Amino acid sequence: MHRDRFYTLSASCPDQVGIIACVTGFIAEHKGWILESSFHSDEMTEQRAARYFIRIEVKADSLPFMLTEFRERFRPIAESLQMDWRINDSAVKKRVVLMVSKQEHCLYDLLARWQSKELDIEIPCVISNHDTFKGFVEWHGIPFHHVPVTAETKVQAFAEVQRLFEESHGDTMVLARYMQILSPELCAAHPGKILNIHHSFLPSFVGAKPYHQAYQRGVKLIGATCHYVTADLDQGPIIEQDVIRIDHSDSPNDMVRYGKDIEKTVLARGLRYHLEDRVLTHGNKTVVFR
């Protein structure tokens, strides 16, 4: 990561000739200094049209205007290219709301990375359907909200989660082993903003107890998947994955223990890619510029 302040432009549009020339030409016209650039062309399939993906970092003080004016000046170019785009300022910390149930390892890991500035973010609050970690979270100086979820109160509970997320001006919601299925309304309200860590190598072993499912199938690799949350359980676009080798002597409890380490690292990597605007979605696929 660069020490100097920079803007990150990430975009996708229908593939065509001249995209890079238009975008980099605009930046060069205003004396912008490109620090990093990534491009990818996704070929046309029966399901999807060909699409082009861009991520560019520009040194902020090389431009003669601020971000608001950049957006205004760049908008006509983006419209002419039929572009979905965003541009963010590295000086503005992302606000990440964490959600957790009774498994502590992902919460502990993210808070440690936040406290050490490895993740340079704001955590406005932690939300949980249990009060297990209330003291631990508040010891870090972070507000903790206990929002119980039962079969009878799910609608009200997730309405409250949405209210807390929006009230805290959250940019991203992270399900750090939050063991509840979010409501379709909450998923629809924040597409591409909710990340989950699932303790299997998706699309294998969706739903509950994936390690036990893996044990029954006798697999030799288990993994973890960081993905965006959609209304379809464990079917959202995949951001990051990794695996670890096991053998016939490992019990489901062994797999759970091994899996905790990989869950932490996969979630942290996936969250970092998301926060750095390295992830662009195309249908149910992602392009991740590492």
Position 267 scores a pLDDT of: 98
- Strands 34-42 and 51-59, by their bridges, are antiparallel
CATH superfamily of the 96-288 domain: Formyl transferase, N-terminal domain (3.40.50.170)
- The neighbour count for residue 118, using CB atoms within 10 Å, is 12
- pTM for the model: 0.94
How far apart, in Å, do the first and last CA atoms of the chain sit?
A: 12
Instruction: Give the neighbor-by-neighbor strand order of the sheet with 172-175.
Output: 144-146, 126-128, 96-100, 172-175, 194-198, 221-228, 238-245
Supply the DSSP string of 11-76, one letter for each residue: EEEE--TTHHHHHHHHHHHTT--EEEEEEEEEPP-SSS--EEEEEEEEEGGGSSS-HHHHHHHHHH
- Radius of gyration, CA atoms only, the chain: 21
Each domain of the chain, given as residue ranges in start order, spans 6-89, 96-288
CA 225, chain centre distance (Å) = 11
Residue 128 CB contacts under 8 Å (≥ 6 apart), including other chains = 99, 100, 101, 134, 144, 145, 146, 147, 178
Phi, psi angles (nearest 5°) of residue 106: -70, -40
CA–CA distance, 179 with 282 (Å, rounded to integer): 27
d(CA 207, CA 219): 17
Burial, 95: exposed, middle or buried (Cβ in 10 Å; 0-12, 13-18, 19+)? middle
pLDDT at res. 43: 80
Per residue in 3-38, pLDDT tens?
789 999 999 999 999 999 999 999 999 999 999 999
CATH says 6-89 is which class?
alpha beta
pLDDT tens readout for residues 124-155: 999 999 999 999 999 999 999 999 999 999 99
State the pLDDT at residue 2: 54
Residue 194 CA: distances (Å) to CA of 75, 171, 239: 27, 9, 12
pLDDT tens by residue, the chain, 290 residues: 557 899 999 999 999 999 999 999 999 999 999 999 999 998 866 666 799 999 999 999 999 999 999 999 999 999 999 999 999 999 999 999 999 999 999 999 999 999 999 999 999 999 999 999 999 999 999 999 999 999 999 999 999 999 999 999 999 999 999 999 999 999 999 999 999 999 999 989 998 899 999 999 999 999 999 999 999 988 999 999 999 999 999 999 999 999 999 999 999 999 999 999 999 999 899 999 99
Q: Among the options 42, 109, 171, 234, which is catalytic?
A: 234
234 carries an active-site annotation? yes
